[in-house]
Amino acid sequence: MKFSKIKSYAKVNLSLNVTKRLPSKFHRIESLVSFINLYDLINLRPINSKKHKVYFKGKFAKGINRKNTITRLLEILDKKKILNNKKFEIKIIKNIPHKSGMGGGSMNAASLINYFIKKRILKISKKELIKLANLVGSDVILGVTQKNTVLSSNGKLTKFKKKLGFYVLVVKPSFGCSTNLIYSKVKYFSKPKYNSPKESLFNTKNIVNSKNDLEQIVFKIYPKLKKLKLFLIKLPNIIFTRMSGSGSSIVAYFHSKKATDIAVKKFKRKFNNYWYIKSKTI
C-alpha cells in the first residue's frame, strides 16, 4: 500500500507569558501561537505486522530517542484499543531542529492524531482529545488544528482564521535549550492577559508589544542568544524579533520577502555557522 503523506508544521510562539507555578512543579502559561511553512514530512501506511515501525530520517533525525512522541502516542492508542489492532509503518523526515522551541516532536504527534481523526480511525470527543494530547506531551494539543491560536492561562484554546502574512527568518545556533532547566529558573510571573481571547490579539501592534517571559532567563544562561537577538532586532525593516518557546530558535518577522532576503545576507555575514531558514506564517 502507498504511503500517505502528512505535513507537520513548526509552531512559533509570538508571545509567551508564564502565569503560575503549579503544585506539580509544572507551569501555567499563556501564548499567542502561529505556524510557519517549515515542516517535518510524515509518511504513513498500515502494515501486516505485530508491531508498529517508526523511523526518522533527514537532517535532524540524529539523536531522537527510541521512545518519543510518536511511539508514546501509538502505545497509548494501542492500550486503549483505539486502533483495533491495526499497525502502521511511519517514516518521518525531520526538517525541524531539536530543542528549538518550535515543537517538532509535539507537532508530529498532533499531526498524526489529526490524520487518524480525519480518516475516522480515531473517534473521540473534544474532552477526550485534550486528555489524549496531554498524555503525549503538553504542547501536542496546540498542533491538532494548525491555525493561529490563543492559549489562555486556564488551558483553553481558541483558534482564529486570521492570516498574519509575516515573512520570517528563523535562526538557531548549534546548541539547544533544555525546557526543564529553563522553567526551573522561573521566579516571577505575569498577570494573565488572554483569558478573554479575541482575534484582535493577533494585530501586529499587540504582537510587537508582547514578549516571551522566558527570554530573560535563557539569555542569562546562553549569552550567545542574547547577542543573536540584539543583532536581529537591528536588521533593516524588521517588525519584531522573538524567541520561540524556551529556545533556542529566535524568529525575526518582516512584512516582505525582499526585506527577509536582505536580512539573510546580513545574518550570514555575521553568523555563517548557525542554522537558518526563510519561511512565512501559514
Catalytic residue chosen out of the listed positions 94, 99, 139, 229: 139
Beta strands in the chain (DSSP E): 4-21, 27-47, 53-57, 87-93, 148-151, 157-160, 167-172, 238-243, 250-254, 275-280
CATH C-level class of 4-160 = alpha beta
pLDDT number for residue 180:
92
CA atoms of 6 and 114, how far apart (whole Å): 10
Phi, psi for 106 (deg, rounded to 5): -65, -40
| Calculated CA dihedral for residues 254, 148, 102, 264, nearest 10 degrees | -10
Cα separation, 44 vs 122, in Å, equals 15
Task: State the pLDDT at residue 84.
Answer: 87
Q: What pLDDT is recorded for position 24? A: 83
What are the distances in angstroms from CA 193 to CA 25, 34, 229?
A: 22, 17, 25
pLDDT value for 194 = 97
- Residue 78 is among the residues annotated as catalytic for this protein: no
The pTM for the full model equals: 0.95
Catalytic-labelled residue, pool 11, 172, 193, 229: 11
Q: Which CATH number fits domain 167-280: 3.30.70.890, 3.40.630.30, 3.40.50.1100, 3.40.50.2000?
A: 3.30.70.890
pLDDT of residue 142: 94
Cα distances (Å, whole numbers) of residue 277 to 9, 88, 182, 237 = 14, 32, 25, 18
R_g over Cα of the chain: 19
pLDDT number for residue 1: 82
Name residue 181's amino acid.
L
Read off φ and ψ for residue 22, nearest 5 degrees. -90, 160
Query: Rounded to 5 degrees, what angle do the CA atoms 184, 111, 29 make?
Result: 30
Chunked in runs of 10, what are the mean pLDDT values of the chain (282 residues)?
96 98 90 98 97 97 94 96 93 96 97 96 91 93 94 94 95 94 96 96 97 98 97 98 98 98 97 96 96
53 annotated active-site: no
Structural domain boundaries in the chain: 4-160, 167-280
Cell representation of residue 15? 508571545
pLDDT value at residue 27: 93
Residue 49 confidence (pLDDT): 96
Contact 104, 97 (CB under 8 A): yes
238-243/250-254 β-pairing: antiparallel
Residue 255 one-letter amino acid: H
Q: How far, in Å, CA of 258 to CA of 87, rounded?
A: 47
Query: What confidence score (pLDDT) does residue 105 get?
Result: 96
